[in-house]
Structure 1
Amino acid sequence: MRRSPLIRRLMATTLPVALVLGSAGTTAVADPLYARNMSTYGLAGGIDTPTAETLPDGTLGATVSWSDYGRRSSVVFQALPKLTAVLRYSRVEGINDYRNDGYISDRSADLRWQVLDEQGWRPAVAVGLQDFLGTGVYSGEYIVATRTVTPSVRVSAGLGWGALAGKPRTIDSNDEGGTPNLDQWFRGGARPFASVSWQVNDRLNLVAEYSNNDYIAKYSNGAVFQQGEEPDSNLNLAAFYRFGGNYEVGLYTIGGNTFGAQFSIALNQREATYPSGLEKAPAPVRPRPAPQADPEGWSGSWAQDPTAQPAIQTALGDAMRKEGQTLESMALTANRAEVRLRNGRYISQAEAIGRTARLMTRALPPSVETFVITSTADGVPTSSVTVRRSDVERLENTEAGQIAAASALSDAPAGAPGLVRSEGVYPRFRWSIKPYVDLGIFSAEDGVTHEVGAEARASYEIAPGLILTGALRQRAFGNIDQRGPGIPGRRGEHYTPGEYEANPALETTPQGVPRVRSDTRMYTGNNDLVIPELTLGWYAKPAPAVYTRVTAGLLERAYGGVSTEVLWKPANSAFALGAEINRVKKRDFDQLFDFRDYEVTMGHVSAYYEFAQGFTAQLDVGKYLAGDKGATVTLTREFANGWRIGAYATKTDLSAEEFGEGSFDKGVTLSIPLGWVTGQPSRERVSADLRSLSRDGGAQLNVRDRLYDHVRDSHSVKLYEGWGRFWR
């Protein structure tokens, strides 16, 4: 088999080094080699050079560094115990672009894989790609080894290519960016780098390093830029001070003539402010009395009394309401009870199920032995957990795994014999008023932007599965102002809102692509009341493993119409299939009830798979808002406490020139449960979509309450990942 040049280079460098170092190790298992400080590039390292260290699995962090060479703002995520990913937004000094400001704003991304961890005499070894998706200002690759010499001293040494070797890549002046520079990886000649760190105490860490970076940028048009003053030497020095457990400040010098400072924060989702939460303890299981103490209850004769179920259902519903749960309906016989549960409080569905099971032992007569707890979402049953009451009584004070083994999970039918709807559950009206903050980050043109205001949101659940939802927003202040898209051929200049609205021809790019997202700023900066959403949704379950959704109205701030979806998702399967079709029309920029001329039918088919360690992969293939066709790949990791971090990329049949800067759509999603911060149980989340560009290619419709995320909460993979909270 003929290998590519890249594979041959890797086998000639990385693999032999790893094997030689690995042969010197022992079978002893060492603690993970966690970082002592963050580098100026925002990940575990020295100052400007990398190390083979990692962060604790699941850590999400950020670093801001300042020096004469520029400002770097980085977000780091330890996606796996050995895989580190970084997104970076930089102001690079000394380089001019169309704005002639003496600096450029640059976006870049890094990946690092720890090939070997430290064991015995064997050092940890890592391979990394630096700035492999950006314009290439920081582009470089490396192989690095790190060894703990004494408990307080660590030494790192490696080989670097590109900027790390002082041999910067030539940047294509016409490149749109966003594509991996595969043909340059591990090419251009390598040079060594090294660093030494001394952990003075549990807070102070001193670092010295040898670096080859000369901070020069070269362009294909012949321009050469020096990013600040050229370093006087290859020696860099730094002191880093950690405080509060999660925070770090640093002072450093590059080459002896340039000084800098940085601040870092690292949050590990497993280290919540209130690790055990502040929720009230659940009611304990109530053991049944002996048969001779309650012969009527054990005989089941009570079930013949027509007043028995209403009284029991009312008492159980009141108890569940105090736990933040809703008893939507109930079916009761002498030896079996099914409750249909709407979880309104707990991020883990297992906790809601466990607390309901405890309350059932307290509310039901002793003859009822079989508990069926059916979870619902948007009025639709999603799964049923069946457990014997005697197992609940017997296993209350054991580990949650034992009650999991004694339970059975199954698909829930849409209806069940004997189900009686609880009084007062439907119709149901809810509303809230709270502030909102819209942030824009990683924009090379605008930097960090913001808008702050108030949002009123309401929902009216007319019947099970039929929901009217709406929102009103009033802007208070911010620097996200209304403006038209960029003027072709005049970078940095934009159409005014008046020019854009007056000329409908501008709503198509010169390449013939409809402006479905590149005019997003026309929907911002409105000081009048706006309606971001007003929809009527119908959710149903026509078959045990099939779910449907139809949503009509003002679907999002830029589009209105009809969105339909079907999902096949068995309760005990890690695999799911879905399809979505939307017919939408573009809304007017005042975000009220008027529409513009553009309309499109678009949609996709989807495949989902849930892997171990909380990973979910999603593949969407279909037609997007601009009429382009392609696919979106999304990978999300969710932790047991509800944290979600994901990344996605979309490539369609639009060329890089038609798409524009960035070449294809990509971004990072982050969702943090509010309860992780406050300690109080809540299903509310703080979510963000970190996307540097609003482009027309690969644009999806933003519809709330798509089926998959609502359904999977009570299905096997996610339910059992959170099963440790069953007895909470």
Structure 2
Amino acid sequence: MRRSRLTRQLMATTLPLALIAGAGIAVADPMLGRTMSSYGLPGGIDTPTAETLPDGSLGATVSLSDYARRANIFFQALPGLTTVLRYGRVDGIDDFREEGFISDRSLDLRYQIVDEDGWRPAVAIGLQDFLGTGVYSGEYIVATRNVTPTVRASVGLGWGTLAGKPRVIDVDDLGGTPNVDQWFRGGAKPFASVSWQVNDRLNLTAEYSNDIYLARYSNDRDVQQGDEPSSKLNLGASYRIGRNYEAGIYTIGGKTIGAQFTIALNPRDAAFPSGLEKAPAPVRPRVSPAQDPEGWSGSWSQDPTAQPAIQKALGDAMAKEGQRLESMALTATRAEVRLRNQRYINQAEAVGRTARLMTRALPPSVETFVITSTTDGMATSSVTMRRSDVERLENTEAGQIAAASTLSDAAQTAGLVQTPDLYPRFRWSVRPYVEVSIFDAEDGLTSEFGAEARASYEIMPGLIATGALRQRVFGDIGQRGPGIPGARGTYYDPDFYADTPSLESSPLGVPRVRSDTRMYTGNSNPVIPELTLAWYAKPAEAVYSRVTVGLLERGYGGVSAEALWKPATSPLGFGAEINHVRKRDFDQLFDFRDYEVTTGHLSAYYEFSQGITGQLDVGRYLAGDVGATVTLSREFANGWQVGAFVTKTDLSAEEFGEGSFDKGVKFSIPISWGTGQPSRDRVANSLRSLSRDGGSRVEVDGRLYDRVRESHTVDLYEGWGKFWR
């Protein structure tokens, strides 16, 4: 299709110049958005801008109008990269349910190529709804600049929906694949917006938009019913409530009124930035040799009662700090303690507090401190430092003690004495639980609430029995069979499905390993989501192993074995896992169904800068399909973790079904971030737009990489600023 002269000029000059400028200029402090658009990105009302969010921001926006209802989850993945996962309801057009609306899931990406600098505006390029059905599909190039300290203007070129030319919804498209052939096609039109920051809380916005808010299917069966906006001018006002909330109202075309609400969280903007934990015990400098000649001479080490007394005193002091002294080796000049961190989200804080306590508990002749981190009975790394450096650097920045310390793999140490009465150890808890389902095209937002009792029994170092019992109290996630082939929107009766094993395979021969997940929900009786016995070991210096048997997750039970090679000082790691599992019965007790499978993966891990970790898993999945999963995640110094994953296997798009392949996002937020109280507990979840059978893995708790990485180079030093906390 022939482009207009204006479009050709902008594509030939503005975009290449912006890309060249972006390649040579570091974005140190991006232009931050003042308001959120109805699409869940910084912008006007419906049009985009070149603004970004504070790095690492995670939040949600809900917008409602007669034209659309949208729920967006956004994440500032990198300083210049903004991502949005969206669930939208579009009224006035039917799908197979014939309810007068369609439900749509879509994904957006926006990258700020350059930030504002002098005369040069900030410039961004974006892809809107590039993985969905295309109802919101569009691409854009936009520039934003501050006109005055309170007035900001944006102008850009848009394609697709942004040009008033909505992409046609392909009735044969299963979704989930990029519509690359449509990018920057179909002719472009300009859009613009102006925002006025009236004060710290109130912002007024006006925009020029070409969106006509109409969609249709490729077979012309259904065309969206409704009126186009009578005007291309939209107006809006937003009001910021506190640090994390924003409410707004807007008009589209001068007559349709909409409302919007946003919640935004940032890992660097905690409610209690300094935390509410008690201050650590101060370092105790050693007295002079003249004041304690016996302590400096080391003769105390010949007394057989010395180490037990020192170990008990140090263990008691560490317990008050939330640490567990697993074992200790002590000579006249060197002490190694093996600690399990049970309180702090940053391992560096546990190491630093232990170092302080060692200065208070050990005789003055002990100059070398070795602090070895452990998890599940495995020693994961050792930090070696001189006591004199701890004394000298206590009141300096944490980087100085990091430079004076050495991190290494934990070696086998002679003379380790296990702290008495640590094993066996029984722990239990009872707490509420909540399950939330988001982006389900059939049900929208659903939830379940109940109580969960959880217990663990550490029989000996590395041998741990774990179990949980759940009782549903209320919720609207009900038991439901999978969809009936050829009759979209209808489902098998749960009792009929449970009594007919032949249905546990799709008409194309794909086993139903996840598409019948709703059969495991809605139980009014107690259920056992997990009951396992796990054995963790460290057979070699940088090699870890795990074997887990039992009810591994709510859907499968069996045996899982894993090995991991991960040196403490290397960003690279390799792992292998094999599982032989059988499908559990839907009551989640002790019975099993007929389906049985062996799965396995080879994995590679690499930790990049800025807390970004890449993971590649290649192998066989639950449905017997073979393929690979790529995961990118980012962790911040305070423990926030956000990531995305994509899986492609040898199942065709038709065999996989709607969505074409598996993909989703995951997040994990430490409880301590919101409460200020030290805790290792987290709120974590994974969001998939669809639950399908292809690319599914067994969900085994305690996989090795996440267990050991927090005390290794990248993760340990990411939080090293907490060493002196």
Structure-2-length-normalised TM-score: 0.97
CA 15–348 in structure 1, closer or farther in 2 if over 3 Å, else same: farther
Between the aligned partners of 1:579 and 1:251, the Cα distance in structure 2 is: 53
Residue 275 of structure 1 and its aligned partner are, at CA, apart by 0.5
Q: Secondary structure at the match of 1:613?
A: coil
Between the aligned partners of 1:294 and 1:667, the Cα distance in structure 2 is: 62
Instruction: Tell whether 2:511 aligns with 1:518.
Output: no
2:152 to 147, 151, 154: 154
Between the aligned partners of 1:646 and 1:488, the Cα distance in structure 2 is: 33
Between the aligned partners of 2:479 and 2:319, the Cα distance in structure 1 is: 45
Between the aligned partners of 2:493 and 2:252, the Cα distance in structure 1 is: 44
CA 552–281 in structure 1, closer or farther in 2 if over 3 Å, else same: same
Q: Secondary structure at the match of 1:368?
A: coil
CA 370–604 in structure 1, closer or farther in 2 if over 3 Å, else same: same
Between the aligned partners of 2:26 and 2:639, the Cα distance in structure 1 is: 34
CA 209–445 in structure 1, closer or farther in 2 if over 3 Å, else same: same
Matched AA of 2:232: N
CA 372–556 in structure 1, closer or farther in 2 if over 3 Å, else same: same
Partner of 2:577: 580
Partner of 1:310: 308
Partner of 1:558: 555
Partner of 1:686: 683
Between the aligned partners of 2:9 and 2:584, the Cα distance in structure 1 is: 57
Partner of 1:365: 363
Instruction: Tell whether 2:530 aligns with 1:536.
Output: no
Partner of 2:77: 79
Partner of 2:135: 137
Between the aligned partners of 2:42 and 2:59, the Cα distance in structure 1 is: 11
Partner of 2:113: 115
| 1:604-623 matched pairs, under 5 angstroms | 604-623=601-620
CA 556–29 in structure 1, closer or farther in 2 if over 3 Å, else same: closer
Matched AA of 2:238: F
Between the aligned partners of 1:11 and 1:485, the Cα distance in structure 2 is: 50
1:448 to 433, 437, 445: 445
Partner of 1:676: 673
CA 89–216 in structure 1, closer or farther in 2 if over 3 Å, else same: same
Matched AA of 1:60: L
Between the aligned partners of 2:317 and 2:12, the Cα distance in structure 1 is: 62
Between the aligned partners of 1:253 and 1:404, the Cα distance in structure 2 is: 56
Residue 241 of structure 1 and its aligned partner are, at CA, apart by 1.1
| 1:307-706 matched pairs, under 5 angstroms | 307-413=305-411, 415-706=412-703
Residue 30 of structure 1 and its aligned partner are, at CA, apart by 8.7
Between the aligned partners of 2:28 and 2:376, the Cα distance in structure 1 is: 48
Between the aligned partners of 2:679 and 2:626, the Cα distance in structure 1 is: 39
Residue 95 of structure 1 and its aligned partner are, at CA, apart by 0.9
Matched AA of 1:226: Q
Deviations 1:258-294 (A, max 9, x none): 1101011111110101100000000000000000000
Contact 1:29–1:119 (Cα < 8 Å) also in 2: no
Q: Secondary structure at the match of 1:641?
A: coil
Q: Secondary structure at the match of 1:675?
A: helix
Instruction: Tell whether 2:258 aligns with 1:260.
Output: yes
Between the aligned partners of 2:391 and 2:616, the Cα distance in structure 1 is: 44
1:236 to 234, 241, 249: 234
Deviations 1:243-271 (A, max 9, x none): 21221111111111211010111111101
Partner of 1:225: 223
Between the aligned partners of 1:478 and 1:221, the Cα distance in structure 2 is: 39
Residue 32 of structure 1 and its aligned partner are, at CA, apart by 2.9
Residue 219 of structure 1 and its aligned partner are, at CA, apart by 1.3
Q: Secondary structure at the match of 1:217?
A: coil
Matched AA of 2:477: I
Q: Secondary structure at the match of 2:216?
A: strand
Residue 29 of structure 1 and its aligned partner are, at CA, apart by 9.2
Deviations 1:89-131 (A, max 9, x none): 0111111011111111110110000011100010110000000
Residue 361 of structure 1 and its aligned partner are, at CA, apart by 0.3
Matched AA of 2:249: L
Between the aligned partners of 1:245 and 1:40, the Cα distance in structure 2 is: 20
Contact 1:30–1:118 (Cα < 8 Å) also in 2: no
Between the aligned partners of 2:225 and 2:375, the Cα distance in structure 1 is: 55
Deviations 1:641-688 (A, max 9, x none): 000000001000000110011000011001000000110000000001
Between the aligned partners of 1:245 and 1:331, the Cα distance in structure 2 is: 49
Matched AA of 2:303: D
Q: Secondary structure at the match of 1:76?
A: strand
Residue 230 of structure 1 and its aligned partner are, at CA, apart by 1.3
Residue 556 of structure 1 and its aligned partner are, at CA, apart by 0.4
Between the aligned partners of 1:440 and 1:125, the Cα distance in structure 2 is: 36
Partner of 1:41: 39
Partner of 2:243: 245
Partner of 1:206: 204
1:99 to 97, 100, 109: 97
Q: Secondary structure at the match of 1:289?
A: coil
Between the aligned partners of 2:515 and 2:27, the Cα distance in structure 1 is: 52
Contact 2:114–2:122 (Cα < 8 Å) also in 1: yes
> Which ranges of structure 2 fall in alignment gaps of 5 or more residues?
none
CA 408–28 in structure 1, closer or farther in 2 if over 3 Å, else same: closer
Matched AA of 1:498: D
Q: Secondary structure at the match of 2:294?
A: helix
Q: Secondary structure at the match of 2:610?
A: helix
Between the aligned partners of 2:341 and 2:58, the Cα distance in structure 1 is: 28
Matched AA of 2:39: Y
What's the RMSD between the two structures over aligned residues?
1.8
2:276 to 275, 278, 285: 278
Residue 446 of structure 1 and its aligned partner are, at CA, apart by 1.0
Between the aligned partners of 1:246 and 1:705, the Cα distance in structure 2 is: 33
Farther-moved stretch of structure 1 (31-40 vs 640-649): 31-40
Q: Secondary structure at the match of 2:230?
A: coil
Between the aligned partners of 1:24 and 1:722, the Cα distance in structure 2 is: 33
Between the aligned partners of 1:69 and 1:571, the Cα distance in structure 2 is: 54
Residue 74 of structure 1 and its aligned partner are, at CA, apart by 0.4
Residue 11 of structure 1 and its aligned partner are, at CA, apart by 9.9
Contact 1:27–1:119 (Cα < 8 Å) also in 2: no
> Which ranges of structure 1 fall in alignment gaps of 5 or more residues?
none
Q: Secondary structure at the match of 2:697?
A: coil
Q: Secondary structure at the match of 2:215?
A: strand
Partner of 2:51: 53
Between the aligned partners of 2:501 and 2:87, the Cα distance in structure 1 is: 34
CA 24–616 in structure 1, closer or farther in 2 if over 3 Å, else same: closer
CA 708–10 in structure 1, closer or farther in 2 if over 3 Å, else same: farther
Structure-1-length-normalised TM-score: 0.97
CA 379–28 in structure 1, closer or farther in 2 if over 3 Å, else same: closer
Contact 1:65–1:73 (Cα < 8 Å) also in 2: yes
Partner of 1:712: 709
Residue 19 of structure 1 and its aligned partner are, at CA, apart by 5.3
Residue 483 of structure 1 and its aligned partner are, at CA, apart by 1.3
CA 227–273 in structure 1, closer or farther in 2 if over 3 Å, else same: farther
Between the aligned partners of 2:658 and 2:592, the Cα distance in structure 1 is: 29
Between the aligned partners of 1:61 and 1:535, the Cα distance in structure 2 is: 35
Partner of 2:194: 196
Between the aligned partners of 2:367 and 2:355, the Cα distance in structure 1 is: 12
